[in-house]
Every structure is written in C-alpha cells, then in structure tokens.
Structure 1
Amino acid sequence: MSNNGFEFNLVQSEMIDADPSMLSASEASNHGISFQLTEQILGLIQRGDSFQKLVSWLPMTVAKQFDLRGCQIELYENQQQQAKLVGGVGDGWLGPANQSRPITQLWDLYKPLTQGTSLQFSSQCLGTKKPSDASLTWLGCPIMMRTTSLGNMWVLRSGQRAFDGTESKQLCRLANYVAIALHQTHLEQTIDQQQTQIRQLRNAKDEFLQLISHELFIPLGSIQLSAQTLERIFKDASWRKVPQRSTVLKVLSLLSQECRRQKQFVDNLITLMFPEHQKASEPVLMNLSEWLPSLLRTFTTRLEQESLKLSITIPQEPLLFECDVTQLERVITELINNAIKYTPAKKTVKITVKAIDTAVEIAIANTGVQIPPSHQPYIFEKFYRVPEIDKQQYGGSGLGLALTKQLVINLGGTIELKSTRQKTTFTVKLPK
C-alpha cells in the first residue's frame, strides 16, 4: 500500500494494555523516560491546562525522549469516519493541522486501531534523495478511554529497527494521557454548561417568585383591605337600618378571613419553595417562660369556639436562649393550629416545655386523629395528606407540617413525631 509518498508493509499488530498508570522505574530507566516526564504530563492535566497545550507539548517531548523522527496526534470525528491532526512535530503522513480527512482508504490500517490494538509497520519514503531517510518504522498507538478509541498517536523513527514490546507499551500509555486530558476538557465544558443552566434556572425562579408576589399577594391584600373597610363602614351606627346589614357583615368578615388564609397559604408556599429568599431576623436573647404564655393567649378565642382546653407546663424560672423570634412564632403557631384542628371538642391541647442539656424542648400534644405508622415517615413532606383522614372535615393544604420542619431546620433544631391511639405529639428541640 502507499499513501502521501510512503510505501509501507505491515510488521506487527498487537493489543496494548491501555491502562494509563504511571510508568515503572525499570521502564523509565531502560528507555530514557524519566519520572519527571510523567510528572510533567500529570501536572499539565491536574493544573487544568488547555487540551491544545498538552497535544502541542507532548509530541515534542515524546520525539525528544525517544529520539524519533516524528510524532503526531489525531482524533476521530464523524463516528470514526474521519481523523483530524491536533498536534505534531517532525515528519508524518497526516494532513495539515486542524483539517479532517477520511480514513476509509486506509481502513485496513485503522481497523485494529479503532478496536484498541496498536499497529506497527515499516515503509519506504518514495522519491527521497538520502538512502538513509528512505526506510522508516511506524507505530500507531490508540488513544483509549475505557473501551472506546478516541484517536491515535503516530510515532516514526528512521531505519528498520522495530519498536519492541516495552517501547510500545510505554508509548501507548503516554498516548492515553491524551484521553485523560480530553476527558477532563469535556468534564469542564459540561460543568460550564451546567453552571450556565443553574444560573438560568435561578433567574427563572426569581422571576417566578416576583410574579407570585405581584399577582397573588397584591390582589389578595387589596381585597382584604376593601373588605375590612366595608366592614368598618357597615358597623357604623348610621348603617344600622340598612336591609340585611348583619348578613353583609358576616359575608365581609368571611371574605376578610379567607383572604388572610389564602395569603398565609401563598406565604407558606413561597417559604417552602424558595427558602433562600426568606429574610431571617437577627437572633435575640429571649425568655421562653414569659414569651410563650403571651403567644398562647392569642389562641384563647379560637379555643373557646372549638370548646377546647389548653394546658401548659413550663418552668417558672427564666428559660433563656437565643432564637429568631419570628420563625419560632410561626413554628409554634403552625403546631398549635394543627393540634386544635384535630382535637375533639371538650378535650385538651397540652404544651410541655423543658430544658435538657444544651437544648430547649417544646412538646405539643393532642388527642383525636391518629397518624398511622405507615404514614408517619411522610408526614413532613409537602402536600402530603393521610388518605384515611376526612379532607372535607379537617381541610388544610398539606403545607403546614412541611413548613414547620423547614423553619425548625432554619433554627438549627429538630422535630419529631409520635402518634398513638391516645395521643399525637410533635416535639421540637432547639439549641440554647
């Protein structure tokens, strides 16, 4: 066969171990490849230098260390139908750099290379003026990434002396550093693309958050304000003789109440979906023994409406710890509302507070609906509802407990559930 002024004959073809491990000391000393060369190659890869820098530097270094006439690196394209020269030095049979050429005419040579087998042959350079330059020995080293051939490193030397088995293995191992560098380049490109996608998703999420705030919060606030204004007007003595005044007041009160509920739902949803956008308050030193009873007094009216009792056990001495009061208030409010919702009339909601080691423990317990053991692992998931519970009777969105857990995590604490036939208890532990 002949190509580009060369006439060549196949000498040998053998499978080369493509493991890109470091060269042994004996191999390095026998053929002049020092550990310094290997460390330089690995250093280029580990520093993240460009792939083009490696394929420009490696052929020159290999040609010098092995006293070669030329060294070229090519990569396959178009499903191994073409090859493109990406770096080289000295003589070779490949075309100009960065230009692709079909390999179908040389498929007998390229077939073993694409299968991970090295190829060695001799050639005669046609038309050369120096007889010493006419005889050449070639070695094709496949660039392997696992079981896939990405290209080849071609080396040639003057004369008929063949590359022995040790030389072939060393050169093929060096060729595989190109595969490592190429793989690293692809990883870096993938990371860059993923980071770009993440930025785009974050921007889209921010836009969605702004849309929710504008399209839901503002209209709900306007409706609530209008309802409250009309309610105040109709409560005035001058409107007492208006027909169906009491009915109008009830409707306005219900409308205002539903607006508050929907605003709370939207606020909970945003808190869960976009926790990074929530502005945390600065932790303050608080006395839980005074603060909690004050908060619980706001539930007096609702407890009376539901015919429920509230029992609280809390140390009389000051129970001091630092905490984000706003988030803690939301945690306690959600858990008490949840307890009131599922506690039968004339029963008691119990709250127990105590200090344990370096933490504060707040337990809120109620009787009523039991959470089956099979559902307890999922009770803090967003929108999760226990199928056996009557949704029409108890209502709710399935966000309350998910929000509570997120807020407790924000406070650096934990929340646990224990539910039996007699009692369901949520226990919050917060660091002092």
Structure 2
Amino acid sequence: MQILGNSLEPYFHQEHARILIVEDNPIMRRLLCQTMRAEGYQVMEACDGEEGLAAYERFQPDLVLLDAVMPGMDGFACCRQLKDLPGSSHTSIMMITSLDDPESVNQAFAAGALDYVTKPIHWTLLRQRVERLLQAQRDTLELQSQMKRERVIGSIAQRIHQSLDLAEILNVAVAEIRQFLQTDRVMIYRFNSEGCGTVSVESVAPPWASVLGQCIRDSCFNDKYTDLYRLGRIRIIEDIHNANLTPCHVDFLTQFQVKANMVVPILQGEHLWGLLIAHHCQATRYWRMWEVELAERLAIQLAIAIKQSELYQQVQQLNTELTYQVQDHIVELQQALRFEATLKRITDKVRDSLDEDQILQTAVEELAIALDVGCCNAALYDYSHNTSHIRYEFTRFLAGCRGQVISMEYYPEIYQQLQQGQCFQFCAPSAHLPNTQTAIFACPMMNGAEAIGNLCLINSQHKVLSASEVRLVEQVANQCAIALRQARLYQAAQATVTELERLNQLKDDFLSTVSHELRSPISNMRLAIQMLERNVTQSQMLCGGQVNRNSSCSKSATYLQILRDECEREISLVNDLLDLQRLEAEYQPQQTDVIQLPEWVLGLVASFEERINDRQQTLILDLEPELPDLVTDAIGLKRILTELLHNACKYTPPEKSITVAAHRQTNKLYLSVTNTGVEISPEELPRIFDKFYRIPNGDPWKQGGTGLGLALVNKLVNHLGGSIQVMSAARQTCFTLELPL
C-alpha cells in the first residue's frame, strides 16, 4: 500500500507482557521473578494457590508460571480454577514442578496447562518457552482481530455481491463504508472520457450538502495525481490546512465542506475507473492504518463488483445472441436429423433391394419431401445415343416431365459439368408457365469416374440450397449410383448363373447320354473278349502247352490281356460317371442294412490280401473290441472303403504298411485307412476330392486312373450322412470317415 499525504503513526502499540508467578519456595520464586523482569516482562508473584487466584483477578496476566506441588491448594487444582475465571481464555499457564512422571504430566495438561517444565530449571529453555507461549498468544489475538475486520469486509462484500445491478451495488457500498468509518460523506467519483468526472454515487450525513450528480473538474488536479492513482497510490489528508496543499486546492475542498479526506483509486486492470472518496466535514481527522487498509480492500471489492456487473451485462448480451444461435442450431439439428433419417431410408432400400426402379423412385420421393422442392427426378445416360432419359420422378406442385429423352448435345454447358462430376445450380425458363423461371439443382450419379445419370431438384421460385442440403443430395446421388451398380451387377450375375446352369445341364445330359451310349458297345466288347479268351485257350491246348514268347499264341494272349484291362477300365469310368451323376442329381436310392463291423471289415480286407502280398506291403487291422452294429447303406460303405483301400495299395511303396482302424466315440463311428511311405503336399490337399483331379507326379509307377475315385467317395460319404477328412504329414496319409451310429 502506497500513501500520499501526511505520514501515519503506528496504530498498534504492544505493551510489555504481564506474568504471574505462583511458587511456595521463596528462593525459587525470587529467581523466577528476577529472570522474567530481566526479560522485560511485568511480574507479580504469589506464594500459594489461593493467593495466586486473587492476584490473577487483580493483575489479569498474560502468562502464569505455576508450581504443581504447594501446600493447601496444589498447582493442578489452582490451574483448573484459573481456567474457570472470566477472561482466562487469553491466559497461558505453564506448570513448573519437580514431578516428571507421565501421570503428573498428563494431569497438568488435563487441568489446562499449555506447557510443563521440570526442576531443576534450565533457564535458557524456560525463557524460550515463555517467549514462545506469549508469541503464540499475540498471534492468536492478532488473528482474532483480523478475523473481526475480515467479517466486516466479508459482510460488506457479500452485500455488494448480492446484486448484479451496478447502481444498487455502489449505493449499498458507500452507505456501508460511511457507517463503518463513521465519517460524513462517502462518494464514488467516476472519470469520463473528457478528463473530468461525475459523482455517480454518494452517501452523506445531514447537515452536510450533497454533491451527487455533479460534474467536477478540479483545476488543481493535474495529470501527476492521475498517474499516481493509476499506480494504486492512496491519498490521505488529515487537515486540509496543514497538508501543504495549494491555495486553489484548499478552496476547492472547502467548497464541499471538507476538512479531512481519504482518496482510494478504483482500478480496472491498468485503467483508472474512478475514486472512492471519504470526506470528514465536521473536523480534522486522524485516519488509522486499519481504516486505510479497509478502504483499500473495499475499493478492490468495488472494482470486482464493477467488473462483475460489466461482465454480467456482456453475458446478458451474449446470452441473447446465444439464444438466437441455439435456436438456429436447433433448427439445423432438426434438419440434420431429418436428412439423416431420409438418407437411412434410402440406404436401407439400397441394402435390402436389388430392384433398380423401386430404389430410384423411393430416392426421388424422399429427397423431394425432405428438401421441400416442387419436383425431383432422376435421369439415366445413354452414351451410345448421347441422350439423357428421365425415368424416375416425383412432383408435388409442378408439372412433371417423366419419360422425356433429352439430347445432351443440345445442352453442352450443363452435361459437360455433370459428366465431370460437378454439382451446380442454375435457372431455366419454365416449360409450363410463360415468363417465369425455375430454379434447378443438378447433381451427377457417378460410377467411379463415369457419370451414369443425374438427380435434378426443381422449384418454381429461386431457392439456393444450403451446404447441408447439397451434402444430402450428393449422398443420395452416391446411394443411387450404388443401387444402379448393384442392380446391374445382379442382372449380369443372374444372366451368368442362368448360362452356367444351362451349360451344367448340357454337361450332365451329355455325360448321361454318353455313359448310357457307351454301356452297349462296352458290353459287346466284353462279350467279344470272353469269346477271344476261349479261342486263345483252345489254341494253347493245340500247341501242347508249349508256348514260347515269339509264338502267335503268346502274342494273342498278351494283346488279349491288354484289351481286357482297358475294357474293365472303361467300364469302371462309365460306372463312376453314372454314379456321380445320380448322386449329384440325388437320384441314388439308399438301402439300409445292419452291419456287424468286425466280420464285415475282415471280409472286405480279405479280398486285398493277395494284392498286398504281391506288392510286399503290410496290412494292419486296429478294430476296437465290442464295436456296435452300424445301420447304413452297406453297398455305399463297401464302395467307399474299397476305393480307399485300392488307393492305399496303389500308392504305398513296398515294405510299407496299410492300417485299417475302427473305433467309437460317443455316438460317432470312425473308420480310417492309413498308408505310410507317401505324403500329399498341403497345397494339393484341398483339391483331392475334385472330379478328374490327379496329383501331379503323384503316381511314380504310372498305374493310371480316372481321377473320379475320391470325388465319388466324397459324394457317397455325404449320401450316408457322414463326413471325411484327410491328413498327410511325416510320410503318412490318413483318410478318416465319420459316420453317425
């Protein structure tokens, strides 16, 4: 705080502290008194507890040094009675005793003592403790005094801030300040832009004159004082005639009946808003320091209130503007929600339907209603004829032009922009109302980089679409383009599927016809082969059984064997083709048989024993004991296992093993055929059940095959309601058949 004017004396003088010593030992009492007086304290002494109580009431000490062990009333009882006396809350008590047991210490503090010193006394420690207790007491009193002032300031500040009306705030403030300072006039002087100011608020006691509303220009008040006030300086005048003021300044203050005054600046940042002025008119006045501090703090509160009021006015203005903005935003939000719902309905239609006509007609209807336009249509382009055909339209209060075909070369300025993917608005003469214009917004429907059509929104009067409306039209145009692309892809896919179905039917018919047609000549070939076998056998008998390699009989037998093998191969191929055809067409009947698995499997593998022995392979059977009976198509199951065993014998190297296993797991039966010494690569595994597929380089012995065996196995397994898996690793291949029990 910086002060201009007369210097102020300290407003608070701390007297020497008063100490009462209560001690029954005269020597110790004298030592204590001498020590405390040497420290500058006022000292009174008493020799016992009753005398100490009486001395306390006369002396009102700040501190009591109390012996605990005394005849009659001991120190503990005296301490308790001292704490019950009026005004004792501001007195500190220190016990001095030879008792140092915990119980005595606790008893002293329970009686109300704040400190405890044992005998013999350490005098330096005693002086420090006495000073500490007195300092704590002074701090407490100062804090209480400060709290009283804070309550006054808080009360005034609360009343100031109870209203956001600046006039009311300032009037309450000056009235409270004048009453609290007990002065004659308190006013707020506000500066204006012309360098002078006006008394805007005033509280004045009778009979002193009011200066409220006066525009005051002090010719003696120069820029020097203004700059000092702007820096926060406070001006104090206790007597205008003894303050070294200029005569004009004294005359100026005299006209307002002022004999002493206090001026505190009211600042808004670095801006000097005004002055808080207290006038004492009836006499000169000594302004105490706490009054100056109080006025300064209240000026700060007024500055806050002024700023708060200005901010409130700004907030009110902003609230008004914000209300309009919120209303506009609500309208925009409602429009956005409406647009979003429109787009969702169109998107759902695109997702759920492949009908081009239905989707585009829905799109133009939804768009026209959402944007409140007179007409909305969709046109598709035909680049081979360079035309635009309006195929879909929804009108509300304008005549339509659905079905119209427009030559794009007549309107190059329009269609060139659309073909480049640009949206735009333009006006055109009305086709139905003479001398009128229609507002048109056009947006292309793009399939990649190519425009396949456009949307048009038409109004009878000029209307410019907003950014959100344009965005909606663009999104709908994108959805329409997606719908057209999906519909055309679907139509192409349907045509492809129809063609594939036709080709597949032709293939099936061809295979069925060829297979049936081949059966008759193959049957004749088999009959002819059997007749040739008889002739060859008779010729060998005529040769006496002596047939060398170069004889005609030997050659005939060789050729006959080749013919027989090839005939059987063709018969197998024809049968496989016919069986596959029946299974794929679901014409294959299923006969149910009860199979006793152990005997059935033994009988099946017995037919392969000679072949396995000839190839120097090992056959292993691993059948779980007590396998249940299996109810299934025995012919189909036999053909499956026969084909799997045939493949195992065919591709298993010599001295390797073939294992046939069967086991039950819950309600499933698992049959597996495993052969070692051969492995199928992971790349080939997914294709081994395809028709006519043979693993490249998978037949080192060149035994041949049709590539239909495993395809037929897969179909037969599905026919039986089961599944088949194949695993191949570590030079071992395993086919596992899973069938329901």
TM-score normalised by L of structure 2: 0.45
Instruction: Tell whether 2:413 aligns with 1:413.
Output: no
| Cα drift, residue 252 of structure 1 | 4.9
Q: What is residue 256 of structure 1 aligned with on the other side?
A: 564
Relative to structure 1, the CA distance from residue 25 to residue 287 in structure 2 (aligned partners, 3 Å threshold; closer, same or farther) is farther
* 1:291 aligned partner, one-letter code: W
Relative to structure 1, the CA distance from residue 25 to residue 110 in structure 2 (aligned partners, 3 Å threshold; closer, same or farther) is farther
* 2:737 aligned partner, one-letter code: K
CA contact (8 A) 2:377 2:392 kept: yes
Cα-to-partner distance string for 1:112-158 (whole Å, 9 max, x where unaligned): 322332211234559965xxx62432211223445543222222323
Instruction: Tell whether 2:458 aligns with 1:156.
Output: yes
Q: What is residue 210 of structure 1 aligned with on the other side?
A: 512
Instruction: Tell whether 2:606 aligns with 1:297.
Output: yes
Residue in structure 1 matching 2:391, options 86, 98, 101: 86
Q: What is residue 192 of structure 1 aligned with on the other side?
A: 494
Q: What is residue 240 of structure 2 aligned with on the other side?
A: none
CA contact (8 A) 2:687 2:693 kept: no
Q: Which runs of structure 2 are paired with 1:317-356 in the superposition (5 Å)?
A: 317-342=626-651, 349-356=658-665
* 2:494 aligned partner, one-letter code: D
CA contact (8 A) 1:76 1:83 kept: yes
| Cα drift, residue 311 of structure 1 | 4.2
| Cα drift, residue 219 of structure 1 | 2.1
| Cα drift, residue 290 of structure 1 | 1.6
Relative to structure 1, the CA distance from residue 140 to residue 232 in structure 2 (aligned partners, 3 Å threshold; closer, same or farther) is same
Instruction: Provide the rounded CA distance (Å) in 1 between the counterparts of 2:696 and 2:477.
Output: 61
| Cα drift, residue 177 of structure 1 | 4.6
CA contact (8 A) 1:31 1:66 kept: no
Instruction: Tell whether 2:468 aligns with 1:166.
Output: yes
Instruction: Provide the rounded CA distance (Å) in 2 between the counterparts of 1:298 and 1:25.
Output: 88
Instruction: Provide the rounded CA distance (Å) in 2 between the counterparts of 1:330 and 1:127.
Output: 81
Moved more, 309-318 or 369-378: 369-378
Residue in structure 1 matching 2:595, options 255, 272, 286: 286
CA contact (8 A) 2:508 2:581 kept: no
**Identity percentage of aligned residues:** 24
Q: Taking CA–CA contacts closer than 8 Å with sequence separation of 6 or more, which of the two structures ends up with the larger relative contact order?
A: 1
CA contact (8 A) 2:512 2:578 kept: no
CA contact (8 A) 1:281 1:325 kept: no
Instruction: Tell whether 2:422 aligns with 1:113.
Output: no
Instruction: Provide the rounded CA distance (Å) in 1 between the counterparts of 2:617 and 2:490.
Output: 62
Instruction: Provide the rounded CA distance (Å) in 1 between the counterparts of 2:674 and 2:485.
Output: 57
| Cα drift, residue 83 of structure 1 | 1.4
SS at match of 1:117: coil
Cα-to-partner distance string for 1:306-326 (whole Å, 9 max, x where unaligned): 566644343453432333322
Q: What is residue 391 of structure 1 aligned with on the other side?
A: 701
The alignment of Structure 1 onto Structure 2 pairs a total of residues equal to 399
| Cα drift, residue 78 of structure 1 | 0.4
| Cα drift, residue 250 of structure 1 | 7.0
SS at match of 1:72: strand
Relative to structure 1, the CA distance from residue 263 to residue 138 in structure 2 (aligned partners, 3 Å threshold; closer, same or farther) is same
Instruction: Provide the rounded CA distance (Å) in 1 between the counterparts of 2:622 and 2:475.
Output: 74
Instruction: Provide the rounded CA distance (Å) in 1 between the counterparts of 2:723 and 2:617.
Output: 29
| Cα drift, residue 55 of structure 1 | 5.0
Relative to structure 1, the CA distance from residue 249 to residue 165 in structure 2 (aligned partners, 3 Å threshold; closer, same or farther) is closer
* 2:504 aligned partner, one-letter code: R
CA contact (8 A) 2:339 2:472 kept: no
| Cα drift, residue 210 of structure 1 | 1.6
Unaligned 5+ segments in structure 1 are 1-23
CA contact (8 A) 1:405 1:415 kept: no
Q: What is residue 224 of structure 1 aligned with on the other side?
A: 526
| Cα drift, residue 57 of structure 1 | 6.1
Instruction: Provide the rounded CA distance (Å) in 2 between the counterparts of 1:375 and 1:53.
Output: 47
Instruction: Tell whether 2:688 aligns with 1:380.
Output: yes
CA contact (8 A) 1:408 1:415 kept: no
| Cα drift, residue 258 of structure 1 | 3.2
Relative to structure 1, the CA distance from residue 302 to residue 232 in structure 2 (aligned partners, 3 Å threshold; closer, same or farther) is farther
CA contact (8 A) 1:378 1:384 kept: no
SS at match of 2:423: strand
Relative to structure 1, the CA distance from residue 233 to residue 360 in structure 2 (aligned partners, 3 Å threshold; closer, same or farther) is farther
CA contact (8 A) 2:617 2:657 kept: yes
Relative to structure 1, the CA distance from residue 292 to residue 179 in structure 2 (aligned partners, 3 Å threshold; closer, same or farther) is same
* 1:209 aligned partner, one-letter code: L
TM-score normalised by L of structure 1: 0.72
Relative to structure 1, the CA distance from residue 80 to residue 335 in structure 2 (aligned partners, 3 Å threshold; closer, same or farther) is same
Instruction: Provide the rounded CA distance (Å) in 1 between the counterparts of 2:361 and 2:518.
Output: 60
Instruction: Provide the rounded CA distance (Å) in 2 between the counterparts of 1:407 and 1:233.
Output: 41
Instruction: Provide the rounded CA distance (Å) in 1 between the counterparts of 2:468 and 2:700.
Output: 77
Q: What is residue 88 of structure 2 aligned with on the other side?
A: none
Instruction: Provide the rounded CA distance (Å) in 2 between the counterparts of 1:281 and 1:43.
Output: 46
Relative to structure 1, the CA distance from residue 273 to residue 156 in structure 2 (aligned partners, 3 Å threshold; closer, same or farther) is same
Q: Which runs of structure 2 are paired with 1:9-20 in the superposition (5 Å)?
A: none
Instruction: Provide the rounded CA distance (Å) in 1 between the counterparts of 2:735 and 2:336.
Output: 71
Unaligned 5+ segments in structure 2 are 1-328, 545-551
Moved more, 239-248 or 400-409: 239-248
Cα-to-partner distance string for 1:9-64 (whole Å, 9 max, x where unaligned): xxxxxxxxxxxxxxx99658449957776666556556648544555565566556
Cα-to-partner distance string for 1:163-194 (whole Å, 9 max, x where unaligned): 33333333444444533443343244224313
CA contact (8 A) 2:419 2:444 kept: yes
Q: What is residue 282 of structure 2 aligned with on the other side?
A: none
Instruction: Provide the rounded CA distance (Å) in 1 between the counterparts of 2:681 and 2:342.
Output: 64
**RMSD in angstroms over aligned alpha carbons?**
4.5
Relative to structure 1, the CA distance from residue 346 to residue 118 in structure 2 (aligned partners, 3 Å threshold; closer, same or farther) is closer
CA contact (8 A) 2:387 2:408 kept: yes
CA contact (8 A) 1:227 1:253 kept: no
Q: Which runs of structure 2 are paired with 1:298-317 in the superposition (5 Å)?
A: 298-303=607-612, 306=615, 310-317=619-626
CA contact (8 A) 2:684 2:695 kept: no
Instruction: Provide the rounded CA distance (Å) in 1 between the counterparts of 2:517 and 2:583.
Output: 20
CA contact (8 A) 1:286 1:323 kept: yes
| Cα drift, residue 357 of structure 1 | 4.3
| Cα drift, residue 297 of structure 1 | 2.8
Relative to structure 1, the CA distance from residue 260 to residue 34 in structure 2 (aligned partners, 3 Å threshold; closer, same or farther) is same
CA contact (8 A) 1:365 1:425 kept: yes
CA contact (8 A) 2:670 2:738 kept: yes
